[in-house]
Amino acid sequence: MNKKLEQLFQRKVHGKVVLITGASSGIGLTVAHKLADAGAHVLLVARTEEALAEAKFDIEAKGGKATIFPCDLNDMYAIDDVSKKILSTVDHIDILINNAGRSIRRAVHESTDRFHDFERTMQLNYFGSVRLILNILPQMMERKAGQIINISSIGVLANATRFSAYVASKAALDAFSRCLSAEVHSHKIAITSVYMPLVRTPMIAPTKMYKYVPALTPEQAADLIALAVVKRPKKIATGLGRLASITYSIAPDINNKLMSIGYNLFPSSTASIGQQEKLNIIQKAYARLFPGEHW
């Protein structure tokens, strides 16, 4: 992030209250530190209380302000309960960042007896986010102020193979957000989708070959979210994500062929049996042509 944008970000979030899900590791933890360093009061939500407590300790050690709310975001009633606790703790929420998510890398034909993969991704990535939004939205509408940032995926724009369960859940949240955006426009609430490319976080660690493909650092991912906070656009995407979206809109067959090539170049994951998935020269070249794409 350049110096000017950093200054705008600090002015934008200083003194604000920001709720972040999936805040105990990866992108969520990194953006929590970035917000707290800029003077925001961060509300951290994740499943593991010990990890949240450690994050709170680290943020406060630097002079930041953090409050933790352990919650299993797969449980709709737990989301209702934690929402009540949050809204009784703070006067309002300026920004909600729906970051928590689950990703599954598996081809459709390998999932014919794994319907639960689709249920689990939809439960957390879509229903969990929607449930939290439904709980937080009324106070934003009453104040006529706020922003909801949903962390989506480049796979939604590029139709990433082997990620049908994950991409479908994120696409559902996108569609919900587009409808909501028009409804809350007059209430001065911004809805932003961030189409995140591959990020080197614990979520992708089980897929060994991702060690050898281009990916953003959590800090770079946090910069994209910071840009979303400053600009309040409908969407944020990398250059490749925008190109993929345009390609699919005007030439879907080309998009399909490119994705098919990638699908056949990169094997199904062997993470479950612990094999290393080093890439050959052709795979490396293809991955560099499409940096940040999920294969």
pLDDT tens for each residue of 78-135 = 999 999 999 999 999 999 999 999 999 999 999 999 999 999 999 999 999 999 999 9
Which CATH architecture is the domain 3-289 placed in?
3-Layer(aba) Sandwich (3.40)
pLDDT at 273 over 50: no
The helix (run of H) or strand (run of E) holding residue 151 is strand 146-153
With cut-offs at 50, 70 and 90, classify the pLDDT of residue 274: very low
Give catalytic residue positions.
166
Q: Does the structure show a pLDDT above 60 at 18? A: yes
Per-residue pLDDT, 22: 97
pLDDT of residue 241: 87
Cα 42 from Cα 231, distance rounded (Å): 20
Question: Over the chain, what is the mean pLDDT?
Answer: 90
Residue 220's pLDDT is what?
94
**What is the phi/psi pair of residue 70, to 5°?**
-65, 135
Q: What is the mean pLDDT of residues 44-55?
A: 97
Q: How many CA atoms lie within 13 A of 4 on its CB side?
A: 1
C-alpha to C-alpha distance for 66 and 280, rounded to whole angstroms: 45
Across 172-186, average pLDDT: 98
pLDDT over 80 (residue 214): no
Q: DSSP character for 293?
A: -
Query: 180: buried, middle or exposed (CB in 10 Å: 19+, 13-18, 0-12)?
Result: middle
Q: Is the model more confident about 189 or about 249?
A: 189
Which residue is listed with tokens 């020269």? 281
210, two tokens: 């991702």
Is 169 a residue whose pLDDT tops 90? yes
**How far is the CA of 133 from the CAs of 20, 73, 97, 113, 129, in angstroms?**
12, 12, 10, 32, 6
Kindly state the average pLDDT of the residues 249-257.
87
Q: Evaluate whether 200 touches 217 at the Cβ level (below 8 Å).
A: yes
| Mean pLDDT on 10-26 | 97
Supply the pTM of this predicted model. 0.90
pLDDT for residue 170 is more than 50: yes
Least reliable range by pLDDT among 71-75, 180-184, 227-231, 251-255: 251-255
**Percent of the chain with pLDDT strictly greater than 90:** 71
